[in-house]
Structure 1
Amino acid sequence: MSDAATPTRHVEGDTVTGRVRGVWRGEPGAGGSAAFLGIPFAKPPVGALRFAAPEPAEAWEGVRDALEFAPTAQRGDPGVTLIPEPSVPGEATLNVNVFTPSPRRSDAALPVLVWIHGGGYFAGSPASPWYDGRSFNRDGVVTVTISYRLGFDGFGWIEDAPSNRGVRDWLLALQWVQDNIANFGGDPSRVTLAGQSAGGGAVLTLLGMPAAQHLFHAAWAMSGATADASAADAQALGRDIARRAGVAPNRDALARVPEARIIEAQTAATRIAGPGGISSLLDTGLRLGPSIDGDLLARPTLASLAAGVGADKPLVLGAADDEFAMAVAGSAKILRWVPLGVLLGRAGLARARRTAYLEANGDVASRGHAAVLGRHVSDRLFRTTVVRAARARGTAPTWVYRYAFRSTQPGHVNDAAVHCIDVPFWFDCLDADRVEPLTGPHPPQDLADATHGAAVALITGGAPGWPAWSASPGTTRVFGARGGPLGHVIRDGYAEVHPLL
């Protein structure tokens, strides 16, 4: 990870479990940063620790190399993400990556960003080049990306195993930040939690979790997708996956099942097929993710936020306009012959709400039936969550945005503000691998400056730089609207979803 024009410069740092060796990128004193990759925060979750709560990493002697990304919980390429998120084989999947401009200054006390990747709680990886913290380091922010167990290993119900193991991984990783980040120039009392998609859902989940309140101080949720599965639904799914794997739903039996077979059973049990599958997804949400267990999660996330949990923490949240437009774009020629009322009915929108919804989304209807169906799916999965969460917070400091930048890349993402399109702007990494296939050629740097600048403003100053929804409900900043200003504030930025609320 060194710059091609300069020789590799190693740099060392201390953790509570031992010393690590990272690499410095850039010239000293010229805006460079150090990367410490794959530092374990927990023991490998294998053998006796498979399906167990995470246990803190063991100490080591000497200096441990932290020069490459460590193993990821994601296996292979699930093919579900628009972000390059590579899989790294191996067992030690619970680790953190630290990017810092001040690796040798324990007194630097810089603000800290902790990023949680998305992927529907069953995919994704912290090893993406998009998640490199160098741009945040340039702006004086230490950045940490964390891993967690995915799918059944992280969230599946097992009759004699700890619940929400992936959530417990988040908590232990955040505790690692509290215990160690000062040694990398960060201030543990100024931690902002951020994530996108399932990662954004993780942010909202942690924001509403009493046990997590001491671990961070501000939050940014991008396209947050919560799960909040009921205890009954989680148990039913866990039993189904165990049945498909051919074993009893207990730790001893499941621990003997090869990982690939568990993933195969999980995929079959959660497969979404046909209009009925989409309607079920919209009605019930993600099935394999954080569940209401009566322990860590005593109630749904929105209920916790409405009860005031996390109300002392600034929150920014928003979504892209056409999150899942690409899911139906390939069927545009067929869908144009199906009456809109029929399409929306099959997607679960009650007849009484269809007229109001179509009237509120007249501009989308002008782009075709597929655009309307894609917007409806996006609204149900993501955009209504933004409004519900902002409303639940009441007067707690909350800012809302919309991401309206439409891809110019020909193909399934063309002319839509699709899922993930805001991530490279937020990280200010428009030159990174596979950005152009998502955004189209020449993505605007001034939009990255504005988006990334808002993130830095929250992390360093506690507010993103536009009027708060909590002071005037409905207030929304719109980033990247075609034909409009770079980022303007409107009075009711999510008016289109009101018929769904």
Structure 2
Amino acid sequence: MTESPIVATASGPVRGFWRDHGTPDASAAFLGIPFAKPPVGKLRFAAPIAPDPWTEPLDATSYGATPLRITGVDNLIPEPAVPGKSTLNVNVFTPALDGALPVLVWIHGGGYTEGSPASPWYDGARFNRDGVVTVSISYRLGFDGFGYIEGAPANRGVRDWIAALEWVQQNIAAFGGDPARVTVGGQSAGGGAVLTLLGMPQAQHLFHRAMSFSGALADVPLDAARRRGERIAELGGVTADVDGFRSLTERRIRQLQPKAATPRKGVGMVLDLLSDGLPWGPMVDGELIARPTVDALADGTGADKPLLLGATDDEFTMVAEREGGKLRRVPSAILLLPFLRGRSTRHAYLTANAAQRKKGGVAMVGRFISDHVFRVLIPRVAEARNGADAETWAYRFSWVSPTKGWACHCLDVPFWFDGLDREKVANLAGPHPPQGLADEMHAAAVAMITDGEPGWPAWSTAPGIARVFGGTGPDVSEDAYDSVLALV
């Protein structure tokens, strides 16, 4: 029987376990290692603080507590909620404890209010097989992580990302990783986190490459964050300061969050999202985050780091589909009036999306929501990095789910992780998703992490160029994001 691996970290020893020993997929897993003290009591709403040291090996054979408190039943990605107080922890997956392998640090998505680093989709086994140490991290969610509180540090969730990356710099060599070759990656809110970190001067020494999949930036204005905090305090009957909010339970704040942010449902909620942006997430506080992310990138922050970014073709079309009965009866040009009031802009956008328009109102409105929240960010970021020392590569994910009918949000994640056989993937990708496509995408991610480029021409060679995964046309297109240019 293989002896359990024990690794000495800066805080104390941790005991993990070997998996698939003696096979090409052999790896060791160390789960739930704390990188900060539990954010409870007086540490609730505080910046993360390094954990107290320990001397006996810490059992790291099961996932640690998660900031997510309720496991989502209908979530696209399985996201387990693990109870407990020590919610700030990392999970390390490594093929070997010696050597200096490249490292992927993965930040999960979930709109900055949900998501779990304990998802089986984020298991690093297949990256381990290809010589990459993989780390998934947790961070405080929703108001606890990102809400404005008088008397408390802003952007506590962002500070958690930084603390986790500092833990990686300090400890990853003991797990066989190279702290000088760290790639930070993430999807959805996690992809937005990657871009936020890329635009932060304080984070530049903590990673060397970046991958943003379906990135959703928050960049919440300070005034908006303050108003939402005051609204939660009003709804909860407490003062809008750190003592007042500490008197509310986690559960109570979770109940009040939606009412303070987007009280409407259905189409109303979508309208709020399009007009006001994400309600919770990194705020432009003027200190830790001095200015909006794209502005920071345009000013040269992160210019020395290679970046891979892209999105799926129909990220949020399923949201529009829920209102399909209403949308199918209204012409696309009328449907977009609330969002695109300028006639020339509306005409240019509809013309560029003529093929999508032919599919009907659901397809058109869904594409617009997807473009507004996700896809327009690709040319905006790529153009902002024009002249950067390091290159930017773009991609599109165009393979259509046989179960959902769209190239939808989250569909690409198991392809990047080469995890088509994992729990609930069939719900999203059908019973026989194309392994060849997963091979291509996973290889591109490994190449980016290992060599600093994914394997197709960079944006600077022909602005607009992108690798198209799972499409029906050429693998590389020079007009991959032309359909969103009217919104840039």
Q: TM-score, normalised by structure 1?
A: 0.94
Match status 1:418 vs 2:405: no
Supply the distance in 2 between the matched residues of 1:127 and 1:499 (Cα, whole angstroms).
39
Go from structure 1 to structure 2 and tell me whether the alpha carbon gap of 1:464 and 1:275 turns closer, same or farther (over 3 Å shift). same
In structure 2, how many angstroms separate the alpha carbons of the residues matched to 1:311 and 1:81? 35
* Structure 1 residues 106-160: Cα deviation after superposition (integer angstroms, max 9, x where no partner): xx00000000000000100000000000000000000000000000100000010
* Counterpart in the other structure of 2:196: 205
Which residue of 2 is the match for residue 344 of structure 1?
336
Sort the Cα spacing of 1:429 and 1:322 in 2 relative to 1 into closer, same or farther, 3 A.
same
Match in the other structure for 2:111: 120
**Deviation, structure 1 residue 356:** 1.8
Q: Which of 468, 477, 481 matches 1:494?
A: 481
Residue aligned with 1:282, SS: helix
Q: Show the counterpart of 2:295.
A: 303
What is the CA deviation profile of residues 287-342 of structure 1, one whole-angstrom value per residue up to 9, with x for unaligned ones? 21100111110000000000000000000000000000111223323321112122
* TM-aligned CA distance change 1:320 to 1:109, over 3 Å: same
Whether contact under 8 Å (1:113, 1:191) holds in the other structure is yes
> Does residue 429 of structure 1 match 2:419?
yes
Within a 5 Å distance, the mapping from 1:215-230 to structure 2 comes to 215-230=206-221
- 1:86-105 CA distance string (max 9 Å, x none): 101111000000000012x1
| Counterpart amino acid of residue 248 in structure 2 | V
In the other structure, the counterpart of 2:253 is: 262
Pairing 1:160-179 to 2, within 5 Å after superposition: 160-179=151-170
CA contact (8 A) 2:24 2:129 kept: no
Preserved CA contact (<8 Å) 1:282 1:348: no
Task: Tell me what 1:4 maps to.
Answer: none
Equivalent residue number for residue 39 of structure 1: 33
Asked if 2 retains the 8 angstrom alpha-carbon contact of 1:455 and 1:464, the reply is yes
Whole-Å Cα distance in 2 between the matches of residues 328 and 30 of structure 1?
43
Amino acid at match of 1:178: Q
CA deviations 1:26-76 (Å, max 9, x no partner) are: 123643000000000000000010000000111112111100001100111
Kept in 1, the 8 Å contact 2:36–2:88? The answer is: yes
- Structure 2 unpaired stretches of 5+: none
Task: Indicate the larger mover: 139-148 or 331-340.
Answer: 331-340
What SS does structure 1 have at the residue aligned with 2:5? strand
**Structure 1 partner of 2:83:** 89
Structure 1 distance, partners of 2:169, 2:341, is 45
Residue number among 302, 325, 328 corresponding to 2:320 in the alignment: 328
Deviation readout 1:361-394 (Å, 9 max, x if unpaired): 1221222210101000000000001110111011
Equivalent residue in structure 2 for 1:465, among 452, 455, 469: 455
Q: 1:180 offset after TM fit, Å?
A: 0.2
Work out which of the residue numbers 421, 424, 430 in structure 2 matches 1:440: 430
The offset of 1:273, in angstroms, is 2.6
Partner of 1:453: 443
**C-alpha distance in 2, partners of 1:351/1:247?**
46
SS class of match (1:189): strand
Per the TM alignment, residue 484 of structure 1 is displaced from its structure 2 partner at its CA by 3.8
Secondary structure (helix, strand or coil) at the match of 2:164 reads helix
Residue type matched to 1:273 in 2?
Answer: K
Structure 1 vs Structure 2 CA RMSD: 1.4
The 4+ residue runs of structure 1 with deviation greater than 4 A are: none
1:284-295 → structure 2 map (5 Å cutoff) = 284-295=276-287
The residue type equivalent to 1:318 in the other structure is G
Q: Give the match for residue 385 of structure 1.
A: 377
SS at match of 2:33: strand
Deviates more, 1:175-184 or 1:436-445: 436-445
Does residue 148 (structure 1) correspond to residue 139 (structure 2)? The answer is yes
| 2:56 aligned with 1:62 | yes
TM-score (norm 2): 0.97
Structure 2 distance, partners of 1:101, 1:192, is 17
Paired residues, number:
485
Query: Displacement of 1:8 after TM fit?
Result: 7.1
User: What is the rounded CA distance, in whole Å, between the counterparts of 1:8 and 1:348 in structure 2?
Assistant: 62
- Distance in 2 (CA, whole Å) between partners of 1:94 and 1:9 is 28
CA contact (8 A) 1:361 1:496 kept: yes
2:43 equivalent in structure 1: 49
Distance in 1, matches of 2:340 and 2:138, equals 35
CA-CA distance at 1:498 after TM superposition:
1.2
The residue that corresponds to 1:246 in the other structure is 237
**For the structure 1 residues 401 and 302, does the alpha-carbon distance in structure 2 shift closer, same or farther, using more than 3 Å as the test?**
same
Question: Could you tell me how far apart the structure 2 residues matched to 1:79 and 1:492 are?
Answer: 38
1:259: Cα distance to partner? 1.0
Aligned equivalent of 1:13: 7
Deviation at 1:278, TM superposition (A): 2.0
Q: Identify the match of residue 367 of structure 1 among 359, 362, 385.
A: 359
Structure 1's unaligned 5+ residue stretches are 1-6
Matched with 2:227 is 236
Distance in 2, Cα, partners of 1:167 & 1:18: 25
Structure 2 CA distance for aligned equivalents of residues 334 and 26 of structure 1: 52
Q: Which residue of 1 aligns with 2:402?
A: 408
Amino acid aligned to 1:431? D
Q: Which moved more, 1:274-283 or 1:50-59?
A: 274-283
| One-letter amino acid matched to 1:289 | G
Change (3 A) 1:345 1:352: same
Report the secondary structure of 1:346's partner residue.
coil
